Structure 1
């Protein structure tokens, strides 16, 4: 499904944050396919390099190849009971200059395979989730202007840290209001 980018509009940055949160959380995420041998086992990435490579190149994961690099934010989810549609948010991220496809491949498959060596890769967490028998899902969205993607990412992370003392929704909305007041769109 081709999605329209979420743009800064006349309602301001607060509206953009709310819409980004809806796109990432309220729509069914895309399941990432892995070979059955990777679920519920005690494995290390090096033992199953070929399985991760097969998963990355599988037609079942073609959605990653079909992603447009203009999608600039993503969320990684797990599902403890298969097909329960009860997803647990594990990570919110944003793509950098290399594009969303490369970033997701690194997180999900350890590309280059079995390594996951790029900074802040969640590949180790993916392996732990697979060892626990959990299914992996991804959702993604495009935030525009591009310069706001980091701010939106950090705001969503703060909103979702329930135990964080300094980073509650009220604080984020105050920050958003101040930024909105000082924001002057470029024409």
Structure 2
């Protein structure tokens, strides 16, 4: 079994109190755990993908502009990894098993070459971490399911805006996608 951890959108804009589209405390509460899980996956020899939302300044055609304020604008500090995860990335980011991947949509698969890179490495299982459980993590899980990957979600390393949305997404991933929730 070959695994890849996909760290989704754990950036300043989504996590910091003054981030442009922040999940705030729920996202901040997983800071140490997401860093630890990422480091453990790296130490195990798993591939690591940082799938990070990246929007163009002033892009009025992107569908999210109707739903959310501008966020994770390319070449801004809002796209920087947040907290201890940034330190982990700084220490492993130059390794050939670690990838930074810009994404434009909720899913890390949509409009990226993630599926190709995973298949080249014979990955059969994806481990999901990051924010938001009910948006980008869930949409990535749905696409992973549709592409035939086994899915693991680290419960203590994903967060949403509130408990109800978080619980719904975890339940959906287990009951509908067959994901394994790692406690």
TM-score w.r.t. structure 1 length? 0.25
Considering Cα pairs closer than 8 Å and 6+ residues apart, tell me whether 1 or 2 has the greater RCO: 1
Select the structure of larger CA radius of gyration: 1
Q: Which has the higher strand share?
A: 2
TM-score w.r.t. structure 2 length? 0.25
Q: Which has the higher helix share?
A: 1
